[in-house]
Structure 1
Amino acid sequence: MNDKILNRVQKSSRYLGAELGSRPKDPRTVDLSLALAFPDVYEVGMSHIGFAILYSLLNDHDWIAAERVYAPWPDLEAELRTAGEPLRALESQRPLGDFDLIGFTLQYELSYSNLLNMLDLAGIPRRREQRDASHPLIMVGGPCAFNPEPLADFYDFAVIGDGEEAVVEVCEQVRQGRQEGWNRETLLRRLADIEGVYVPSLYRVSYHEDGRIAALSPAPGVPQRVRRRFLANLEDAPYPTAPIVPFMNTVHNRVAVEVARGCTRGCRFCQAGYIYRPVRERSPQRIADIVDESLRHSGYSEVSLLSLSTGDYSRLEPLLKGLMGCHEAGQVAISLPSLRVGSLSAEMMEEIKKVRKTGFTLAPEAGSERLREVINKGISEADLLAATEAAYALGWRVIKLYFMIGLPTETDEDRRGIIELAARVKRTGRGTEGGADANVSVSTFVPKPHTPFQWEAQIGVEETLARQNQLRDGLKKRKLRLKYHEARMSLLEGVFARGDRRLGRLLEAAVDAGCRFDGWGEHFDFSRWQQAFAATGIDPHWYLRQRDEEEILPWDHIDCGIPKSFFLAERRRSIQGDYTADCRHGDCHGCGLCDFDSLRVRLSERDELTPPRLPAAPSPVADGRFKIRLRLRKEGRARFVSHLEFMTAFHRAVRRAQLPIRYSEGFHPTPKISLPDALPTGFCSDAEIIDLELFRPLPADRIAAELNHQLPPGFEILAAAAVAWKTPSPSASIESSRYRVGLPADAPADLAGRCADFLAADEVIGRRQKKGGTIEVDLRPPVLELALREQALWITLRKGSPLPVAAHLLGLTPEAARDLEIRKVEVRMRDGLDCFANA
C-alpha cells in the first residue's frame, strides 16, 4: 500500500502487517495461497480466536501461505478508490485477486455488506456466475454459515462446522485440482464430496406463490443435506501459542485460550449452544501449557479463558488456582468473559481479583423466573443475587447485566421484572466500601436457525422502541443506566438470520447505495436499507414472521447434527415451561448428536497442574533501584505506529524479554518505563530516549540485545547505558531535538532567505493541525536553528513537532507536509545527562 495513503488515514497500524507473530511467506515457494478475510475492521477481527486458529494451522503446512485481510475503514476505502488501488492482504501486500482462495468468516449478519464491498475493492466480481478461472475461489464459514442462503449468490462454497480439519482438506483438493487441470465446475463437485462442504450452485430452490419455499433440490449425486464437521477431540487439536501481537489496541488485547467448545445448557434462544455441541474440554495442564507459551511469545499481561460458558468448565477451580500460582507474581490477570450464575464460588472470585479485577458480567436474559423457564436459562433469582453480593463484597464496584426483550411469551410483567431484578442486584452491594452499581444491557431477541425458537416471530422496530422506552424510564427511576441494541439493526439481523437466497439482490442494492459497517452506529444508515427494500420489492417483515412448523426452512438442507424433531419437542416444552437439564452430568435427552464413541461429551479428567516448564516472570516487588537509558531507532513502516501504540509494543517487548522491571504500587501496578514526548505518526527517528527502572542490575548491552530480539521490525535499540536511578525522565532530560526534512521537488527557490527571515522575526504566525481543523499559532518560540544542507531542511526545536514549521517554510498545507520525509536525527541532553555522548 502506498505510504502516502497510510499518512492520510486514521489508525494506519491497522494496515501495516509485520506484527510480531505474523507469518509471511514468499508466494513463489508455496503451492497454494489463501487469504483469510474478516469482514469487519482489524481490531475486531484480530480479537477472534477462530481466525487465529486457522491462520496458525494453515501456515504450519509449508505448501500453504495463509494471509489476512480485514475490511478497510471508510477513510482507507475512499483513498483506495481515489488512487485506483486494490485491497491487499497484510503479509505480502498482494492484491486479493491474486490469491487462489479467499475465505470469509461469517460471525454476524450485519457484516454481509462489508463482504461484498471487500470483493468490490479487490476487483473481484461479486456474483459467482460472473467469475472464471482467473478469479479466486470464494469460501465462507463461521456460525452464520449454518444459514448460508442469503449470501448464496456470492460465494463458491461454505464450510459448515468446525474448520480445523475441513479447511486443510479443502486446500488439498484445490491443490490437486490445480495440478490436474480441473475446471471450476469439476473442482466444486469434488469439494462437495468433503463432509461439511456446501456448494450452493449444486442446489436449486423453488417457491410457492405466497413466497414460502416449495422445494430444495440437490443436483444428481449430491447429498440432500450437508452435515456439519465436528472436531471430536479438543485436547489434541492444534492451537496457536505464538499469537500475532497487534501494534494497536484491539477489542481483546490479551492471550485468549479456548478452554472448551460446545455447551449443553440448552438455552432455547442460543444458536451457538446447539451448533457447537457436544461439549469438548481441554485439560487444565494443556491449558496451562498454552498460557505459558503464549505469554512468553506475546508479552500480554492478561489471559482470557474462553468458551460459550467458561463457568461450566469442569476443572475451573484448580485451573484458576494453578494459573494464578504460576503468574500472579508477573502481574498477569485472568478474565472469564462468559459466566453463568452459580458457576463461580467466592474462592474462585478471590483468585481472579489477586492481580486486578477484570469485568464482571452476568446474563439473566429474562426478568422473571417464568420466562427464564421458557427459555431454559436454568438460573434462579436467589442464585443471581448471591453471586452479585459476593462480587460486591470482594471489591467489584460495577456489575453488568444482560437481558433480552421480545422473547417468546414475554409480557409487560416480565419487562418490569428486568427493572426490579436490576434494582435488587444493586441493593446487594449496599454498605460495601466505594459503593456499588449495576449497568443493564438489553438486546432484541432474534430467532436463529437450528434452535427451538427458529419458528418464532421477531418483534418489529416500533414494538422494540416502545419496550426499550419502558425499560429506560423504569431503570432511570431506580438510578440505573440502560444500554440497548439499535432496533433497526436488530430488524436487519433478523431478516438475514432467517433469510433465503432471494436476499442477494437486496444486499447488492444496499451496498450500491453505500451501506458499510452496518454493525457500527456511526456508519449504519437505515434509510439506505429502506431504499434497497423499496427498490427490490422485499418486505422485511415477511422474514420476521412466525414460521409454520411444516414449512420448509431456508436452512433445512444444512444438518447441524440435531434433528428438527428435537427442536420441535423443545419448542413445545418451552410453551409448557418445562426445564431441560444439562446432559453433561445427567441423563441424555436424545438430541441425536452423540454417537457415544468418537462424537460425545469429553470432560477434562485431570484436576492437578504441574509447575510450569517456563520460568515464572520476575517479581516486581524488590528493594533494588537501577535505571537503564536506551536510544531507539524507529523507521520503515514502523513510523506509522502511533506513540501510544509504540508504548504498548515496547511494554510487551520488555515482558517477553523477562527483564527485572519495577512496577508502580497501587491497585493497577504498571511497569516503570519512561518514554519521551510523542513522536508524530509518520516520522522516523534515530533518537528516541527510553528509561527502564529495574529491581536487579543487568548489563546494558545484554538488555539492548534482549530487547532487539523481541522488538517488532522497524524498531532497534542503538545504544544502552546505566544511569543514576534519580536521573530525570527522558522528557525532562532532553534540551532540544534536531530533525531532517527531505525537500520536495518543487521546494521554493528562496528557501534559504525564508529560513533567515524566520530566525530574524520575533513572531511567525502559521497553522497547526488540531482535531477538527487547523489553528493559527506563533511558530517562532520553539525553533532554535534552521539550516539547508544535503538537499534537506534541518530544524532544531526545544520541543514540539517540526511539521508546521516545515509546512510554513515550504509553502505547503499541513496535509501536504505530512508526505515529506521527516526524521529525528538527534537530541541534545541537558548538562551532565548525555550518557550517549561517546556512544
Structure 2
Amino acid sequence: MSNNILLSVEKPARYMGGEMGTVSGREGALEFVLAFPDVYEIGMSHLGLQVLYGVLKEVPWIMPERAYAPWPDLEESLRTQGKPLVTLERGLPLIEADVVGFTLQYELSYTNILNMLDLSGIPLLASERSEGYPLILGGGPCAYNPEPLADFFDAFLIGDGEEAIVEIAECVRDWKEEKLPKRVLLERLARIQGVYVPCFFEVSYRPDGAIEKIAPLLAEYGSVKRRFVADLESAYYPTSPVVPFLKTVHDRVSVEISRGCTRGCRFCQAGYIYRPVRERSPERVLEIVEETLGNTGYDEVSLLSLSTGDYGCLTPLLKGLMDRYAAQKKAVSLPSMRVGSLSPEMAEEIRRVRKTGFTLAPEAGSERLRRVINKGITEEALLENARAVYSNGWRLIKLYFMIGLPTETMEDLDRIVEISREVKRQGKFAGNGGDVNVSVSSFVPKPHTPFQWEPQITEEEIVEKQRHLRGELRKKKLIMKWQDASLSGMEGVFARGDRRLSRLLIEAHRLGCRFDGWWEHFDRLKWAQAFETSGIDASFYLRRREADEPLPWDHIDCGVKKGFLLAERAAALKETATPDCRFDKCTGCGVCDFDQIKLRLNDPVPFDTYATEMAPEAPVEEAQRIRIRFEKVGRMRFLSHLEMLTLFTRAVGRSAIPIRYSQGFHPHPKFSFATALSVGIVSYAEYMDFEVDAGYTAAELELALNRSLPEGVRVLEATEIPLRAPALSVIMDKVRYRVTLPEELAHDLQAKVEAFLALESSPLKREKKGKSTEFDLRHELAELKVDGSALEMVVGRGKPVEFTCAILDVQPEALKEARLEKLEVLFS
C-alpha cells in the first residue's frame, strides 16, 4: 500500500503488515486469504482466526494472508485512487487469491463482507463468479444459519475448522492443477464433512412467505453435518501467533482451555453448537502458556472457554500459573466466570499480580425467569460470589442481564434493579465498598436453540424496557449500559433470516451501509430505505415460528436433535431444570457418538499439583540505567508513538530482559522515550532509557532487543548512564532532518531557501484538541541548506513538514510523497 494512502488514514498500523509471527515469501503457493469483516483491532483479537492462520502457516505449499474491513478513511482513499483491497502480508489484491475465507462472527458485519468483495472487484453473487475468481468461503458461528449470505458464498464450513481448512485447501489445489470447471470443485467440496455448498439446495416458499421446502439437488447431500475436532488435547494451538503493533480489543495471550458447554442455557447458541465439552489438560495449558508468552511478550494470559469456572482443574491450574508468572508481573484473567464457580482459593490466586476486572452474568433478575432459561443459579449464590470478589480487593463488578426473554414480566425487570443494588451492598459488607456496572442486552432468538421458535420483542418494547430500567437503576445510583434497540432488531432479522435477505443486503450496501455493529456508523434511515426498496418486512423475521414450520437452517445439522430442542422449549414453559450432563446423566441431546465425539474431561487433582517454588522477587539493590539509540525505517515509520511503546513492551517481554517495574495497581516496565516522532518519518536517531537490574550490561540489552525487535527497528548503540542522569526530554536541544522532495516540488530550491532565511519571522499557529500553540519557525531554525532535491535542516521546536511547507509555500498534502528522515539529535 502506498505511502500516500497510509499517511491519509487514522491508523496506518491496521494495514501495513510486517507483524511478528506472519509469513512471507512462498512464491507459487496456494493463496489463502483469511478475511475478517470488521476492523483490525477486533479481527486480531479473534482466537479462531489466529488458530486458522497458524494451521495454514504450517503447510509449506499454502501462503496464508489476511485482510480486514477497511475503516471508512481507507475505503475513501481506495475508491478515490481506484485501488483494490489488498492483503497485509504481500499486498495481494483479493481478486488474485485462490481462496478468500470470511469469518462470520456477527450478523451486523454482513454489509462489510459485501463491501470487501466490492472493493476487491469480485462480483457479489456466487452465480456471477466463474473459474477465474477466488473461492469465497465462510465459517464461524453465523454459518450455522448461512442462508442470508447463501447467494454470495460458494461454500461454508460448519463447525471446527482446524482440520477441515487444510482439506478444503487440498481440494482447491488439486482442482486448479487439473483445470476443471468450477462445478467439479463445488461437488468435491460437498463431499468434505462440514462443507455446505448453497447452490446444491433449492428453497421454495409458501404463499404466506414461510418456507415450504429445502430440496437437495445432489444425491446423498440432504443435510450438512457439522465438523468436529474430537480431542482438544491434540488440536493445534498457535504458540507463535501474529503479534499486532497496536493495542487490540483483547491484548493478551488467549488460551482455549475447553471447548463446548453443557450447562444448557436455553437462549445460548454457543452452548448448543459447540457441544460436547472437550477440555485441554492442565499440563498442556501450562506448556502453551509458557511457549506463547516467550514468543509474544504479552503480560496477561486469558483462560478461555464458554464457562471457564467449570473447567475441572481450574484452581490447581491457576495456582501453577501464578507461581510461575506472578514475579514477572504477568496477570491471569477469567473472562467467563459462572456464578457459584469462584472459590476463595481462586480469587486469591488471580489477585496476586493485578485484578483484571470481574464479570458475573445472572442473565435474568428473578429466579423464576432464570428457571425458564435454565440458568441454574440462585440469588444467594450470586451475592455470596459478589461478597467474595469485593473481599479480595476488587472494586468493580460488571453484571450482565437480558431483557425480552420468553415469559418476561415487568416484575422480572424490577428484580434486575433489586439484585443489582444487593450486589453493590455486598461491597459494604466486605468492608471495602464497591461499584456495580449493569449491562443490559436484548434477547435475540438464535438458530439451534430451544428458543429458536420464540418471537423477538419489537424495538418499541425494547426502548420502553430500557427506559424503565435506566430510570430505576439511576435512583439506586447504578450505571447502566445498553445496546441500541435498532441494532438488536437488525441482528434478529439476519439471525433467523433466509435467502431472500440477499436483496436487502445488496440494497443496503448500495446505499452505503457499513460497520452496522458500530452505533456511530449504523444508519437506521438507510436501512429503513433498504427494507422498503427490497420489499422486506422486518417483522416477518422477528415473529414466532410454528413447531412444524420448516426453518431456513433445517438442513444444517449441528448435532443436537430438533426433538431435544422442542423438549427443552416445553421444559422452559414449565420452568423445569435440565441438568448438566457433566455432573448428571446424559440428557439425550444427540451430539455424542460415545466413541470419538464424547465428553472429554479432566479428573480432579489436589490444589498444589502444579505448584512450583515461587520465583524470588526482584533484587532491591540499585538498578542500572541504559540509554539506547535505535533506527525506525521501512514500514515501521508508520507506527505511532503509542504503538512504538507497545512494540518495545512486547520486545522486552519476549527477550526476558530484567526490566524494573513501576509500583502500584498496574505495574509497567520502566523505560521512556525521548519525544514522540511524527508518523511517516524515517529515523536513525530515536532514543530510549531503560531501567534494569544492576549488573545487566548495555551490550546485553542491545543484543537481547535486536533478537526480539521486528524488521525495521534496530538498536544501533547502547550506553550505560548514571541512574539519576537528566531525562532525555530535558537534554534534547535540536534535531537534524532531511526532506527529500518529489520532482515537481524541487524547482528553485536554493532561491526559496534564501528567501526564507532572509525573513525575520515566520509565525505558526498549531491547533490540536481545541487548544492552540504559537511559535516562530524562523526563530526555531538553526541551519538550512539544499542538497540536490532535498532540504537539510536543524531545528528546535516544530516538525519538518511545518518548516518545509513554510519554505515552499505549500500545504501538507503536497508532501505526502516526500521522504522525511530524522538524522541526528543534538543534546545540550
1:604 Cα deviation (Å)? Answer: 1.7
What one-letter code is carried by the residue in structure 1 that aligns with 2:458? Answer: G
* Aligned equivalent of 1:353, options 351, 354, 373: 351
1:232 Cα deviation (Å)? Answer: 0.5
After the TM superposition, which residues 231-630 of structure 1 pair with which residues of structure 2 at under 5 Å, given as runs?
Answer: 231-430=229-428, 435-605=433-603, 607=605, 619-630=617-628
Match of 1:35 in 2: 33
What one-letter code is carried by the residue in structure 2 that aligns with 1:70? Answer: Y
* Aligned equivalent of 2:115, options 100, 114, 117: 117
The alpha-carbon distance between structure 1 residues 768 and 755, as it changes in their structure 2 partners (threshold 3 A), is: farther
2: CA distance, partners of 1:14 / 1:183? 37
Q: Deviations over 1:277-296 (max 9, x none)?
A: 00000011100110000000
Moved more, 802-811 or 266-275: 802-811
The alpha-carbon distance between structure 1 residues 52 and 143, as it changes in their structure 2 partners (threshold 3 A), is: same
Secondary structure in structure 2 of the residue aligned to 1:746: helix
Match of 2:179 in 1: 181
Secondary structure in structure 2 of the residue aligned to 1:328: helix
Question: Is this contact kept in 2: 1:406–1:464, CA < 8 A?
Answer: yes
TM-score by length of 2: 0.97
TM-score by length of 1: 0.96
The reply to whether residue 703 of structure 1 matches residue 701 of structure 2 is yes
The reply to whether residue 744 of structure 1 matches residue 745 of structure 2 is no
Match of 1:164 in 2: 162
Moved more, 761-770 or 162-171: 761-770
Match of 2:728 in 1: 730
Match of 1:828 in 2: 826
Secondary structure in structure 1 of the residue aligned to 2:745: coil
1:695 Cα deviation (Å)? Answer: 1.1
2: CA distance, partners of 1:799 / 1:256? 43
The reply to whether residue 12 of structure 1 matches residue 8 of structure 2 is no
Q: Deviations over 1:19-63 (max 9, x none)?
A: 0111223332x2x21100000000000000000000001110111
Match of 1:835 in 2: none
What one-letter code is carried by the residue in structure 1 that aligns with 2:435? Answer: D
2: CA distance, partners of 1:214 / 1:387? 49
Secondary structure in structure 1 of the residue aligned to 2:233: coil
Match of 2:139 in 1: 141
Q: Deviations over 1:657-692 (max 9, x none)?
A: 111111112222111101111000111100001111
The alpha-carbon distance between structure 1 residues 524 and 772, as it changes in their structure 2 partners (threshold 3 A), is: farther
1:804 Cα deviation (Å)? Answer: 1.2
The alpha-carbon distance between structure 1 residues 749 and 176, as it changes in their structure 2 partners (threshold 3 A), is: closer
1: CA distance, partners of 2:464 / 2:766? 48
Secondary structure in structure 1 of the residue aligned to 2:50: helix
Question: Is this contact kept in 2: 1:677–1:731, CA < 8 A?
Answer: yes
1:794 Cα deviation (Å)? Answer: 1.6
1: CA distance, partners of 2:656 / 2:617? 10
2: CA distance, partners of 1:773 / 1:726? 34
1:700 Cα deviation (Å)? Answer: 2.0
2: CA distance, partners of 1:538 / 1:419? 37
What one-letter code is carried by the residue in structure 2 that aligns with 1:392? Answer: Y
Moved more, 495-504 or 809-818: 809-818
What one-letter code is carried by the residue in structure 1 that aligns with 2:367? Answer: E
2: CA distance, partners of 1:233 / 1:683? 49
* Aligned equivalent of 1:94, options 92, 95, 99: 92
Question: Is this contact kept in 2: 1:128–1:155, CA < 8 A?
Answer: yes
1: CA distance, partners of 2:500 / 2:116? 21
Q: Deviations over 1:540-591 (max 9, x none)?
A: 0010000000100000000010110000000000000001111112111111
Q: Deviations over 1:732-751 (max 9, x none)?
A: 22221111111232337554
What one-letter code is carried by the residue in structure 1 that aligns with 2:462? Answer: T
Question: Is this contact kept in 2: 1:24–1:67, CA < 8 A?
Answer: no
The reply to whether residue 150 of structure 1 matches residue 132 of structure 2 is no
The alpha-carbon distance between structure 1 residues 245 and 618, as it changes in their structure 2 partners (threshold 3 A), is: farther
Secondary structure in structure 1 of the residue aligned to 2:118: helix
What one-letter code is carried by the residue in structure 2 that aligns with 1:702? Answer: E
* Aligned equivalent of 1:198, options 196, 206, 209: 196
1:165 Cα deviation (Å)? Answer: 1.2
2: CA distance, partners of 1:541 / 1:617? 61
Moved more, 770-779 or 185-194: 770-779
Query: Once the two structures are aligned, what percentage of the paired residues are identical?
Result: 54
Moved more, 576-585 or 751-760: 751-760
Q: Deviations over 1:159-214 (max 9, x none)?
A: 00011111111111111212222210011011111111110000000000000111
Listed as ranges, the gaps of 5+ residues in structure 1 are 831-839
What one-letter code is carried by the residue in structure 2 that aligns with 1:295? Answer: L
* Aligned equivalent of 2:642, options 641, 644, 647: 644
1:817 Cα deviation (Å)? Answer: 3.1
Match of 2:684 in 1: 686
Match of 2:24 in 1: 24
2: CA distance, partners of 1:182 / 1:302? 49
* Aligned equivalent of 1:664, options 656, 662, 667: 662
2: CA distance, partners of 1:4 / 1:383? 58
Q: Deviations over 1:425-445 (max 9, x none)?
A: 111111666631100111110
2: CA distance, partners of 1:431 / 1:11? 46
Q: Deviations over 1:634-663 (max 9, x none)?
A: 011100010110011011111211111111
Listed as ranges, the gaps of 5+ residues in structure 2 are none
1:606 Cα deviation (Å)? Answer: 6.9
Match of 1:76 in 2: 74
1:725 Cα deviation (Å)? Answer: 1.5
Question: Is this contact kept in 2: 1:367–1:414, CA < 8 A?
Answer: yes
1: CA distance, partners of 2:27 / 2:768? 42
2: CA distance, partners of 1:754 / 1:326? 63
What one-letter code is carried by the residue in structure 1 that aligns with 2:411? Answer: E
Secondary structure in structure 2 of the residue aligned to 1:329: helix
2: CA distance, partners of 1:772 / 1:487? 33
The alpha-carbon distance between structure 1 residues 206 and 311, as it changes in their structure 2 partners (threshold 3 A), is: same
Question: Is this contact kept in 1: 2:316–2:611, CA < 8 A?
Answer: no
2: CA distance, partners of 1:296 / 1:610? 23
1:762 Cα deviation (Å)? Answer: 4.5
Q: CA RMSD in A?
A: 1.8
The alpha-carbon distance between structure 1 residues 466 and 660, as it changes in their structure 2 partners (threshold 3 A), is: same
Q: Deviations over 1:467-506 (max 9, x none)?
A: 0000000001001111101100101100000000010000
Equivalent pairs counted in the alignment come to: 827
Match of 2:717 in 1: 719
Secondary structure in structure 2 of the residue aligned to 1:324: helix
2: CA distance, partners of 1:380 / 1:695? 51
What one-letter code is carried by the residue in structure 2 that aligns with 1:25? Answer: G
What one-letter code is carried by the residue in structure 1 that aligns with 2:9? Answer: V
1:767 Cα deviation (Å)? Answer: 5.1
Secondary structure in structure 2 of the residue aligned to 1:8: coil
Secondary structure in structure 2 of the residue aligned to 1:403: strand
After the TM superposition, which residues 187-226 of structure 1 pair with which residues of structure 2 at under 5 Å, given as runs?
Answer: 187-226=185-224
2: CA distance, partners of 1:309 / 1:8? 43
Secondary structure in structure 1 of the residue aligned to 2:23: coil
1:758 Cα deviation (Å)? Answer: 4.0
2: CA distance, partners of 1:126 / 1:806? 46
Match of 1:833 in 2: none
